[in-house]
Amino acid sequence: MLRLISSRTPLAQIASHNTKKLSAPVLTTLPRLYSTFTDELDLVVIGGGPGGYVAAIKAAQLGLKTACIEKRGALGGTCSNVGCIPSKAMLNNSHIYHQTKHDLKARGIDVGDVVLNLPVMLKAKDKAVSGLTKGIEFLFKKNNVAYHKGAGKFLNPHEIEVTGQDGTVSTLKAKNIVIATGSVASGFPGIEIDEKQIVTSTGALELQQVPKKMLVIGAGVIGLELGSVWQRLGAEVTVVEYLDAIGAGMDSEMAKAFHRILSKQGLKFKLGTKVLETEKLANGRVGLKVEESKGGNAETLEADVVLVSIGRKPYTEGLGLENVKIQVDKRGRIPIDSEYRTSVANIRCIGDVTYGAMLAHKAEEEGIAVAELINGEHGHVNYDTIPSVIYTHPEVAWCGKSEDEIKKSGIEYNVGKYPFSANPRARTNGDQEGMIKMISDKETDRILGVHIMGPNAGEMIAEAVLAMEYGASSEDISRTTHAHPTLAEAFKEAAMATHSKPLHI
């Protein structure tokens, strides 16, 4: 039986710059051919993060006999346990604290002394995490996914050894296996992480007191989000970034504006600066030796806590890939074809451990698609419309191409911009920093990219994703009714600015 190939951008294409074409065919027979086992499962998923647990639930919903192996003792992966969820809990509560302290008076709300109770704030974060991870366990039960708490290791392409947390060893047999083992923080030669003073994001979400001085290495998503958290709670935060811009590759015009806004909030930046090494100083602090990225002007900065946030790397330790002869590429990723097959046809791979953006929603989409493909259906992910969000205040969100990329590609384009300072709701809320930038193809008016910096940008980007998913033009959006008074009207105005002229400016 043959399946159609997705007409959208395949993941393998995204990775074309780093792997040679795999030999696994795109059109194949269905995995049900593996019928020699009698007591085997249809699917075993290794890793219970957003990629793995979603794949397992979807597969079970499709009628496949499914098990999921997770070794951390809780489901939800990096995202629920030490990533998206705890960081958003700290971002939300530190924002409320900061706003209560600095902003409420001007709104006619007098409060007494505003005092930070960090242990309670950390507890609230932990409560959010445990509630959500237990919720996934409930979903497993509801959907008949067998949950194996332990570390999975390939014995051969159909058998996985599971070493439970109590040391018991068992073996699972499956027709299909999905690897969804995720990623861990990248380290740095010359810097020893102790998760107390020199921390990754995991340690930075557990600090038991507000550091007086904090140095953040890397002005990417984690550096800006967690740098903001501790700055709002009272730390003096300096972010050291190798590149000349913040925001790890966002549209350069938005990055400049974002840099200005965060600097005004009190974050300090040392751009174009590379970190050489750290040392523990006699005064109990950490010394961070840095120099200009192009070389020269070395200096040593001091801090109570250093956050290392220079990216994440795929995680395959202890997985026994050597037993199934799967090789990782030079960045540690497991190579796959356009239907998530590794070099072994019945073993597929999704999420952070393979190609593409390291984002929870990207892993989730792949989880659904891979389950559908294993079931012989047509699963696909549109990699051209995966949104990115930085949950600072204001938030920054984008989808599609940046203006820099479009310029480079030579496509002729229209660009429309609309500031939140002209949007009635943003002005009324006293939350009017930022703007929306929309870019469309000059000839067809089809939207190529949307970049939003402003209140609720992370929610608003969903409209851009949907519009792009359906191939909308900026005119389509400018002729669509948006409720008044809402922040979303700024989105319509940006579309009007792209297509012809905005009205309210």
Closest distance of CB 205 from ligand NAD, Å: 11
Decide if 180 contacts 349 (C-beta within 8 A): yes
CA neighbours closer than 13 Å in the CB half-sphere of residue 209: 5
Decide if 492 contacts 436 (C-beta within 8 A): no
Determine if 49 is a binding residue for ligand FAD (CB under 6 A).
yes
- State the CB neighbour count (10 A cutoff) for residue 72: 18
Determine if 228 is a binding residue for ligand FAD (CB under 6 A).
no
Decide if 151 contacts 318 (C-beta within 8 A): yes
**Which residue, 92, 82, 93, is CA-closest to 119?**
93
Residue nearest to ligand NAD (CB): 220
**Crossing angle, helix 50-61 and helix 360-374, to 10 degrees?**
30
**Listing from the earlier edge strand, what are the strands of the sheet with 213-217?**
198-199, 305-308, 213-217, 236-240, 268-270
Q: What is the dihedral of CA 125, 247, 382, 53, to 10 degrees?
A: -20
Distances (CA, A) of 326 to 248, 337, 346: 31, 13, 12
Determine if 147 is a binding residue for ligand FAD (CB under 6 A).
no
**Which residue, 311, 302, 310, 312, is CA-closest to 238?**
302
Residue among 331 and 442 whose Cβ is closer to ligand FAD:
331
Determine if 203 is a binding residue for ligand FAD (CB under 6 A).
no
Q: SS3 for 106-119, per residue?
A: HHCCCCCCCCCCHH
Please confirm, yes or no, whether 482 is among the known catalytic residues: no
Determine if 152 is a binding residue for ligand FAD (CB under 6 A).
yes
Residue among 311 and 424 whose Cβ is closer to ligand NAD:
311
Out of 10, 31, 51, 247, name the contact with ligand FAD by CB under 6 A.
51
User: Quick one: what does residue 242 bind among ligand NAD, ligand FAD, none, with the CB cut-off 5 to 8 Å set by partner type?
Assistant: ligand NAD
Determine if 356 is a binding residue for ligand FAD (CB under 6 A).
no
Determine if 395 is a binding residue for ligand FAD (CB under 6 A).
no
Burial track 268-304 (b if 16+ CB lie within 10 A, e otherwise): ebbbebbbeebeeeeeebbbbebeeeeeeeeeebebb
The contact set with ligand NAD (CB under 6 A) reads 217-223, 225, 240-243, 248, 274-275, 309-312, 357-359, 389-391
Determine if 91 is a binding residue for ligand FAD (CB under 6 A).
no
Out of 132, 199, 239, 359, name the contact with ligand FAD by CB under 6 A.
359
Burial track 92-104 (b if 16+ CB lie within 10 A, e otherwise): bbbbebbeebeee
Out of 66, 94, 133, 183, name the contact with ligand FAD by CB under 6 A.
183
Closest distance of CB 93 from ligand NAD, Å: 16
Residue among 391 and 491 whose Cβ is closer to ligand NAD:
391
Decide if 496 contacts 436 (C-beta within 8 A): no
User: Quick one: what does residue 70 bind among ligand FAD, ligand NAD, none, with the CB cut-off 5 to 8 Å set by partner type?
Assistant: ligand FAD
Out of 10, 48, 223, 455, name the contact with ligand FAD by CB under 6 A.
48
Alpha-helical segments (H) within 144-271: 201-204, 221-232, 252-265
Tokens 């989880």 sit at which residue? 367
User: Quick one: what does residue 47 bind among ligand NAD, ligand FAD, none, with the CB cut-off 5 to 8 Å set by partner type?
Assistant: ligand FAD
> Which two three-digit tokens encode residue 501?
């002229």
Catalytic residue among 259, 484, 499, 504: 484
Determine if 71 is a binding residue for ligand FAD (CB under 6 A).
yes
Out of 12, 40, 60, 72, name the contact with ligand FAD by CB under 6 A.
72
Near ligand FAD by CB under 6 A, which window of 75-83, 107-115, 241-249, 464-472? Answer: 75-83
Closest distance of CB 14 from ligand NAD, Å: 14
Out of 220, 351, 434, 449, name the contact with ligand FAD by CB under 6 A.
351
Determine if 301 is a binding residue for ligand FAD (CB under 6 A).
no
Out of 43, 44, 60, 69, name the contact with ligand FAD by CB under 6 A.
69
Residues β-bridged to residue 438: 416, 450
In residues, how long is the chain? 505
Closest distance of CB 28 from ligand NAD, Å: 31
Closest distance of CB 410 from ligand NAD, Å: 26
Active site residues: 484
Residue numbers at the binding site for ligand FAD (CB under 6 A): 46-52, 69-72, 77-79, 83-84, 87, 151-152, 180-183, 201, 222, 315, 318-319, 351-352, 358-361, 363, 391
